[in-house]
Chain A
């Protein structure tokens, strides 16, 4: 199927997944609400002419990714990562998919609760996904049931603290507590420090 712009592809994608129909919003307004079944949890953001982010509920994520891979030609899993939005209490998984035929990217984003977060594994769709999932399990504590070697430590060794990439983990405090900071090194909040260096009068 031929799509001129990434918006058309997205609307076709929403049609196929049955998650709802694209509303009246257009590309210039970045957030276009999706009317329909799961309107609350679903929205899309078109970042540029070849990059868009869509957000779907966790239980539909794997569906959508398989649809994109099999029916829309997004055959390349660029990366899979998570970002911690602690104030809203969610991890946001980002599956970045790339289409070699159209050279478009679609980032499928999924919100997971921060505690006891679990996501379906996609290690059977892409081989390298298992590695990404091991890293997420280790760095964020997100579980991917069935992913191979998911419980083996990937990067850290003998780590017994909270997963380091969570935002509640303070790396500076941990470093000062664990390693031996050489005395004489003082650190400052850059804004305040440079302000009093550069504009002492203010």
Chain B
């Protein structure tokens, strides 16, 4: 079918048409009727994740229309990376997603290495995988506080953030950075493990496991938490493909989609784990899937610590970064981050600067299209819980 090029010329005055997916698009309620109340949840709002805003239209306590507004964190990364050399780009990519920067570092490095044909030494691959799993654990520990806090249980948030801090100490020991590690560099990693590092990692893992037993009792067996979270924001299986849903949301809906299994990168084909899926596909199920993945991530870290080669190079010799040119080409690398599929599309034109870097964050679709659709009919009190159950991070939406 060919598009009518005549209709859209003076379309600016017409209202946006309704599409079949998102109920909100184009469906306007008239505030003048007095039956509705329009709220802005965010950007200055404790119940919002990060710095974004939901334009909520209420009828009583029920949401009848919701628009997601992003862009408060837009830094123009993709533009900035076009005017920085490949080596200059490496320290800024981790800023794209604040809570787990390592995935950005890994994906950027992997894409550059694929185009430049660089081989990564064995030890560096192990260290990369280790840091990715530790980042997953930190991100989940932060999320679990948000999930319970959205339902008014601040205690678990305090516990989770505190234990996340122990892992951040490990990161600091490993890479020198607390939040932004800048550890995974094209060609390898920046530093080897310090002396006695695996033992300290094991201690922290034991602490986290003890905490998680407490959380399991206090959160998942809590009657009121069940009352709030069960049946909230059910994602039907039919929506998965048409909304591009990935990660724990898709797995909680019963789809065994995990990039670590489907297209194994790094060492995931040698490690022993299985894809965790749920069935109920509501907020409680998503939380439960993520909780199981925390356990899984702990076991993965332990496996890696057991089988990690002791010695070996951690970095290959790169060409002189001053005039390091990447041969022309384009590629797309993806990884499974805590929220779903995280991907980097890198196009090189043979110069010393990347031609185009596109960052595909899972929150992009979860926070906008999915949120705008699933929030319809939800009680305003549950909006924060629904938002957190999608585990969205605004920085990766607008980059």
Chain A residues at the B interface, C-beta cutoff of 8 Å: 30, 45, 47-48, 50-51, 53, 59, 62, 75-79, 81, 83-85, 94, 96, 100, 103, 105, 107, 118, 120-121, 123-128, 130-132, 143, 145-146, 148-157, 164-165, 167, 169, 171-172, 190-191, 194-195, 198
Roughly how many angstroms separate A154 CA and B369 CA in the complex, as a whole number? 13
Contact B26 A148 (CB under 8 A): yes
Given the interface contacts A81-B358, A127-B369, does A164 sit within 8 Å of B1 by beta carbon? no
Which residue, A51, A121, A131, A165, has most C-beta atoms of chain B within 10 A? A131
Name which residue of chain A comes closest to B331, CB basis: A47
B262 closest partner in A (C-beta):
A103
Taking CB as reference atom, which chain A residue is nearest B7?
A145
Interface residues on B, range: 35 or more
Please determine whether B71 and A156 come into contact, CB atoms closer than 8 angstroms: yes
Q: How far is the CA of A148 from the CA of B378 in the complex (A)?
A: 23
- Are A128 and B16 in contact, CB atoms less than 8 angstroms apart? no
B347 proximal to A (CB < 8 A) = yes
Give the number of A-B contacts (CB < 8 Å): 156
Contacts of B3 in A (CB 8 A): 118, 120-121, 145-146
How many Å from the CB of A32 to the closest CB on chain B? Answer: 15
**Contact call B352/A118, Cβ cutoff below 8 A:** no
A138 vs B330: C-alpha distance when bound (angstroms): 24
**With A120-B3, A143-B8, A145-B5 in contact, do A128 and B25 touch (Cβ < 8 Å)?**
no
Nearest-neighbour CB distance to chain B for A195, whole angstroms, equals 6
Q: For A103, list chain B residues within 8 Å (CB).
A: 262-263
Q: In whole angstroms, how far apart are the Cα atoms of A130 and B372 in the complex? A: 12
B8 contacts A146, CB within 8 Å? yes
In the complex where A53-B330, A190-B322 touch, is A131 in contact with B71 (Cβ < 8 A)? Answer: no
Q: Are A172 and B330 in contact (CB under 8 A)?
A: no
- Taking CB atoms, residues of chain B closer than 8 Å to A143 are 8
A72 vs B257: C-alpha distance when bound (angstroms): 18
Task: Point out the residues of chain B lying under 8 angstroms from A171, CB to CB.
Answer: 76, 79-80, 83
Asked whether, in the complex, the Cβ of B74 is within 8 Å of the Cβ of A149, the reply is no
B residues near A118, Cβ cutoff 8 Å: 3, 5, 8
Check if B365 sits within 8 Å of A131, measured CB to CB. yes
The interface centre, meaning the residue of B26, B85, B241 with most chain A CB atoms within 10 A of its CB, is: B241
Q: Are B352 and A191 in contact (CB under 8 A)?
A: yes
Question: Taking A79-B358, A94-B345 as contacts, is the C-beta distance between A172 and B17 under 8 angstroms?
Answer: no
| B88 interface neighbour in A132, A165, A190, Cβ under 8 Å | A190
B25 touches A126 (CB 8 A): no
Q: How far is the CA of A145 from the CA of B345 in the complex (A)?
A: 26
Q: How far is the CA of A194 from the CA of B263 in the complex (A)?
A: 40
Smallest CB–CB gap between A107 and chain B, Å? 7
Closest Cβ of chain B to A109, distance in Å, is 9
A155 touches B398 (CB 8 A): yes
- A contact residues around B365 at 8 Å (CB): 127-128, 131
A51 touches B332 (CB 8 A): yes
- In angstroms, Cα B320 to Cα A195, docked, is 11
Residues of A close to B11: CB separation below 8 A: 145, 151
**Interface assignment of B341: CB less than 8 Å from any CB of chain A:** yes
Set of chain B residues within 8 Å of A45, measured between Cβ atoms: 330
In the bound complex, do residue A157 and residue B369 qualify as a contact, i.e. CB atoms below 8 Å apart? no
Report the minimum CB–CB distance from B118 to chain A (whole Å): 15
A161 CB → nearest B CB, Å: 12
Query: Is B187 among interface residues, defined by CB-CB distance under 8 A?
Result: no
Residues from 2 to 47 in B contacting A, C-beta threshold 8 Å: 2-5, 7-8, 11-12, 16-22, 25-26
Given known pairs A51-B332, A79-B360, A126-B243, the reply for A149 and B25 (CB within 8 Å) is: yes
Asked if A107 and B18 make an inter-chain contact with CB atoms under 8 angstroms apart, the answer reads no
Query: B364 near A: Cβ within 8 Å?
Result: yes
In contact, B322 and A62 (Cβ under 8 angstroms)? no
Identify which of B22, B246, B341, B345 contacts A127 (C-beta below 8 A).
Answer: B22
| A172 vs B76: C-alpha distance when bound (angstroms) | 12
Complex interface: chain A residues within 8 A of B2 (CB): 59, 120
A-B contacts, 5 of them at CB < 8 A, read A76-B241, A78-B341, A81-B358, A128-B364, A145-B3
| CB–CB A79/B76 < 8 A | no
